[in-house]
Amino acid sequence: MPIVPQAMSGLIFMNETGVALTGKNTKDIADAVAQALSTYVLTNPSLISFFLSGTAGPVGNLTSVAVAGIIPQGMSSLMLTRALSKGLRGRSLKNLFDAISIGVSLHLSGMLVTGLTAGIAVGSGFGKFTYINDLVVSNML
């Protein structure tokens, strides 16, 4: 599945409303996060490293390399820690970051990367996010 900002936003929004976050800007927050993360991931393909195996050959077409290693609890915890360090407070802050993390993780864990590789004609593997620059993503919001 490709990265689709509207789909990611829908997953975030569903998780926001699931924990009773229903303020007037709830959908706007989901849209902003989804658009920023989607843009960042799509414009930085080197964020994902691949681990492949298969039959040797000149050039193969990889069509189903799933991206692994996205942990919503870790993402939420990091967001909450960063928000608290910036002085943000609120009784629903943890719920907000949990909803965002789960929505983002659900969408990105279903992401499939396609492309060509030299040296493997037929095979399989998985991809893993290796680095995301939090300051760049934050500035995109």
**Torsions phi, psi for 134 (to 5 deg):** -60, -35
Q: What are 113's two structure tokens?
A: 């990367």
In angstroms, the Cα distances linking 102 to 36, 46, 75, 116 are 16, 23, 9, 31
**Torsions phi, psi for 119 (to 5 deg):** 100, -15
pLDDT attached to residue 110: 67
Q: What is the separation, in whole angstroms, between the first and last Cα of the chain?
A: 24
| Residues spanned by the domain of 34 | 5-140
Widest Cα–Cα separation across the chain: 57
Distance CA 62, CA 123 (A): 8
Q: Is the pTM of this model over 0.85?
A: no
Q: How many helices (H) and strands (E) does the chain have?
A: 5, 2
**Taking Cα atoms as reference points, which of 81, 55, 72, 78 lies closest to residue 107?**
72
Q: What is the mean pLDDT of each run of 10 residues along the chain (141 residues)?
A: 83 93 91 85 67 55 57 83 85 91 82 58 58 62 56
How many distinct structural domains can be found in the chain? 1
Distance CA 82, CA 125 (A): 33
Q: What are 59's two structure tokens?
A: 């050039």
